[in-house]
Structure 1
């Protein structure tokens, strides 16, 4: 699956639902996609309602970091909806790694004037989120088998 970062609400997985008709994951993907789009709209509505004419450079940076992290987390949550076994868990973990790397490149391309320390902060946030989502996938798969999630690590819930 593709992992194309976007500032907009466009789906990072290009094309339509990647699961064929009749696959149980197809409906879960569609439902999770609708939830993701609703979450993005709510977040953007909240930003619009709280826009201040007195934005400082610090508050702008904080909002920028929060926006990117929220976009990232929203689509990662959607991907978790179709993790239903060990193979899917491994595929999801690989997708997360690709998505972090693609965000890094996307920010370099679309925001070339962002200071290196702010880029590092974003990279650290997204990497921590990816670790968290990988742990969530591990716990999910382990819980369906009734096993403890040995390699699950707690992470930030942004």
Structure 2
């Protein structure tokens, strides 16, 4: 009986070693996924309530680098931080990065929000937003908004001691 177990063990160990060795390695960024299910949600929410989310992200970037993994809302997520990362995503990242929002984010923002768009749809909507937010366009809007605010102040607030 012991001989059979020994032979089985001797045959199984090399097979398991080969299976483990031939498995394709995934290149995963550094970082901690945190507590299962909860992940880094509590730390991020705490930082957001204290208005220190930017510091939380900077601390994480200093610890793990500009690209790191974390778990938010029960899903493994990649955090990409910095100017070079933004440039990559907004110039050519649309073809190589797939954005998958959690179900709760999809429910809040809708299925076809800007975060969910990719490829040509994303480029088209982003192009419209960029043209809408050009400095020349903003100058026109600021002038109109300024005129409306002045009119409202003169009509409703002028001569009053207290704003209610």
* TM-score, normalised via structure 2 length: 0.23
Bigger fraction of residues in helix = 1
- Which has more strand, going by share of residues? 2
TM-score normalised over the length of structure 1: 0.24
Which structure is larger by alpha-carbon Rg, 1 or 2?
Answer: 2
Higher relative contact order (CA 8 A, sep 6+): 1
